[in-house]
Amino acid sequence: MPHLRSTSTCAAVACTLQILPMVDAHAGGTGQAETLLAPVVITASRIGQDLWQSPATIDSIDGAQLREGQMQIHLSEGLARVPGLVVQNRQNQAQDLQISVRGFGARSTFGVRGLRLYVDGIPASAPDGQGQAANFPIGSAARIDVVRGPAAVLYGNGAGGALLLYTEEGSQPGIWRSGMALGADGLWRLSTQLQGRLNEAPESWSYALNLERSATDGQRPQSAADRSTVHMKLARHMGDQRLLLQYQQQQVSALDPLGLTRTEFDNDPTQTNANALRFGTRKSVLQRQVGLAWKYPLDAQQHLELMVYGGTRAVMQFQAIPAATQAPPSHAGGVIDLYRDYAGLNLRWGRIQDDVGGGQLAWSAGLAYDWQGEWRRGYQNFVGSTLGVLGALRRQERNQAANADPYLQAEWTRQDLSLSAGLRHTQVRYQSADHYVVPGNPDDSGALGWSGWLPMLGARLAL
């Protein structure tokens, strides 16, 4: 017999408190005047230019559009309008969002792979390509640029696309705003943003602080989650010189209800996998990162840019792997204990030349280097007949990954035509040292490396 299925979504109540300077809408006369919208200048192509003049496939989403009428918890709420971009909310904060651009990233079973994530020009993806969209501070976003197609190779090897979030700049007088949202299944969010400048001098430091916390009981048993995010930015403009300092922190504690078979879903989509309850499947994450971006003009036509970042990420995850499955000596166990350090830099030189073939030529050369090292341990998820607890050690290894990528980029532009080209040579090396060697589980240490060329061409013709 056919039946109706009820699904509770974000039937939300939102409240926002904002303190900011007031502007007289009728200043300068009472007549109706034409409004000229400011041009959207993008930097996703690594060269500042008008959005419509870039030969790269780039969409820019304003921060207000991301937040308007949304819970402001997941990127999936505000990016559905971007063509070629699919953001799938798994409704499971232990697994994060699945994001794909033209198919890149669609095979990721957790987190974001195949795409590069950046916040204020500083990577939010680990050197091995793994990223978490939960690191994006939606509450303080000024805009997000979505790069699709070949231009994404400018952001690293294996990048089929890039998501670049830029946060709001502090202004004088300062701004403070806070928001609250409530939804079904015990869902709530609190956020506050504080922005300003130390004084009115143009070269003074600006600051922007974003604090967010959200929690939910979940629609299904064993699906509660609690997440908090901190993002702080200090910036200073000294003529054409710019210095930016950034700190990010993300902490997640989430229960994992696991998936359902088609039969289970048809019978009751709100039920939870029985093994999730037996093993108490759950995941906790703590990540901290600092970054620096510096732009220094050499003269009117040349400049240097330096970006340096580093951070740590700790993950503890209890899985629903039966005890019998873990019996072989080579099995890694049902608990993942991961601690990771990572760092990187990008040094780039750029030059702009006018009157080159009737147009302007902008070109740059640089070197990107990234490294990460991690201790990965595995444990049994049982002790005797007690399930869902930390048991005996079954895996211990030290893994390292590094890449060094020199690159070149050039873009020639005139009023009706733009041509761009880029070339990146990537060298990647992985190394693993096995520290858990027992009878039946031999030493699996080893190393692997490869290299390759990544070209890019683009053209835009005004008709």
Going from the N-terminus, what domains does the chain have, and what CATH number goes with each?
51-259+272-461 (2.40.170.20)
Whether pLDDT at 87 is above 60: yes
Q: What is the pLDDT of residue 106?
A: 66
Q: Check if the beta carbon of residue 234 is closer than 8 Å to that of residue 245.
A: yes
Whether pLDDT at 221 is above 70: yes
Quick: pLDDT tens for 293-335.
999 999 888 999 999 999 999 999 999 999 999 999 999 999 9
Residue environment code for 40-57, b if the CB has 16+ CB neighbours within 10 A, otherwise e: eebebbbbebeeebbbbb
Indicate the pLDDT class of residue 68, thresholds 50, 70 and 90: confident
For the four alpha carbons of 60, 66, 69 and 70, in that order, the dihedral sign comes to positive
R_g over Cα of the chain: 25
Cα angle, residue 264 at apex, residues 262 and 265 outer, rounded to 5°? 65
Q: Check if the beta carbon of residue 176 is closer than 8 Å to that of residue 193.
A: yes
Q: What is the pLDDT of residue 43?
A: 53
**Quick check: bond before 127 cis, omega within 30?**
no
Q: What is the pLDDT of residue 112?
A: 74
Number of H helices, E strands in the chain: 3, 24
Q: What is the pLDDT of residue 174?
A: 86
Q: How far apart are CA 390 and CA 378, in angstroms?
A: 10
Better-scored residue on pLDDT, 136 or 70: 136
Whether pLDDT at 450 is above 60: yes
Quick: pLDDT tens for 36-55.
545 555 454 555 555 444 55
Q: What is the pLDDT of residue 2?
A: 36
Better-scored residue on pLDDT, 35 or 136: 136
> What type of residue is 295?
K
Provide the 8-state DSSP code for 196.
Answer: E
Indicate the pLDDT class of residue 158, thresholds 50, 70 and 90: low
Q: Check if the beta carbon of residue 95 is closer than 8 Å to that of residue 88.
A: no
Q: How far apart are CA 181 and CA 13, in angstroms?
A: 5
Indicate the pLDDT class of residue 105, thresholds 50, 70 and 90: low
How would you class 421 by CB atoms within 10 Å of its CB: exposed for 0-12, middle for 13-18, buried for 19 or more? middle
The CA distances from residue 31 to 25, 26, 61, 62, 321, in Å, are: 11, 8, 32, 29, 71
